[in-house]
Amino acid sequence: MNDKLLLENYLKMLRLPTFLREYAQVARQCGEKGEHHEDFLLQLAEREAAAREQNAIDRRLKEAGFPSNKELSTFDFTAVPKLNKKRILDLGRCEFIAKRENLVLLGPPGTGKSHLAVALGREACRRGKSVKFFTAAGLATRYTEARAEREVQKLEAHIRKRDLIVIDELGYVPLGQGSAESLFNFFSQCYERTSLAITTNLPFSEWPQIFGDERLTGALIDRLTHRVHIVEIPGESYRLKDSLKSQEGGEAAK
Ligand code: ADP
Ligand code: MG
């Protein structure tokens, strides 16, 4: 076997795909610039490490199952002047996840709660956190399915492994008794282990309506809010404002 083939075999065996793909080009460049062998090796190692990091981020983003790719960078903070931008950007540093703290985004429909929850979740993926997105109804369904398959323990083991779980749209539909029980179990699984980011249109005082049991809801809120950041998003629907604005623009253009 010639040297080139031998080298490429070793690089495959050692699982260094970026070395394999780029060594010839980097070698040529280093040769032209008269750089040392150490520089050549350093450059290749840097590229391999960067590619691995990017792959890991892509894998975490995929596993999280976000319904959109909304980002903090595309959130228009000027549209919600009462929202503390610095506070949101601080949450984007994800220290609350390391501290196992929770986040509740509370506000009327259309105010950007899901946008922010997804954006913060994506940020967490980039920072090495394992994240999973559910709607409240979707999570309840997952429990129902898992129960039918006798796989609740497996589902809960998955849940416990995550650093952050996003629960979107809690409160939009009241949960039936089975679903409410599932979510109680879910909240106990996460307590002091997994951070939660919850979006809801209902203040805590109205949560008993969602779960249908005053006492259990009280216990749940107690745990959730043991360590919590509550972000209230005031105001009207962004979608509505946005479409009114474009209509005004249309009028003005006439
Ligand atoms: P909610 O979850 O509070 O009902 P969404 O996050 O789904 O609201 O927002 C509705 C739509 O408006 C989404 O497409 C979202 O990206 C957009 N949106 C809401 N608020 C903003 C904002 N401040 N800047 C940019 N887009 C926004
Ligand atoms: Mg939403």
Q: For residue range 164-202, what is the model confidence (pLDDT) as tens digits? A: 999 999 998 888 888 999 999 999 999 989 999 999 999
Find out whether 105 and 117 touch, Cβ atoms under 8 Å.
Answer: yes
C-alpha 62 to ligand 1 mean position (Å)? 22
Which of 135, 202, 238 is the best mutation target for the ligand 1 pocket, counting ligand atoms within 8 Å of the beta carbon and taking the most?
238
C-alpha 93 to ligand 1 mean position (Å)? 21
pLDDT tens digit string along 31-42?
Answer: 999 999 999 999
Of the candidates 198, 186, 188, the residue with the CA atom closest to the CA atom of residue 228 = 198
Single-letter amino acid code for the residue at 28: R
- Considering only CA atoms, which residue is closest to atom 6 of ligand 1? 112
The DSSP secondary-structure symbol of 82 reads T
Q: Write out the DSSP string of 42-72.
A: HHHHHHHHHHHHHHHHHHHHHHHT-SS---G
Ligand 1 pocket residues where CB is under 6 Å: 70, 75-76, 79-80, 107, 109-115, 199, 238-239
Structural domain spans, the chain:
3-63, 65-241
CA distances from 72 to 86, 125, 195 (A): 12, 13, 19
The DSSP secondary-structure symbol of 78 reads G
- Regions of the chain with pLDDT less than 70: 1, 249-254
Domain 65-241 has CATH 3.40.640.10: no
Write the CB contacts of 186 (distance below 8 Å, at least 6 apart in sequence).
139, 143, 156, 159
- Considering only CA atoms, which residue is closest to atom 1 of ligand 1? 110
Q: Which pLDDT value is given to residue 19?
A: 97
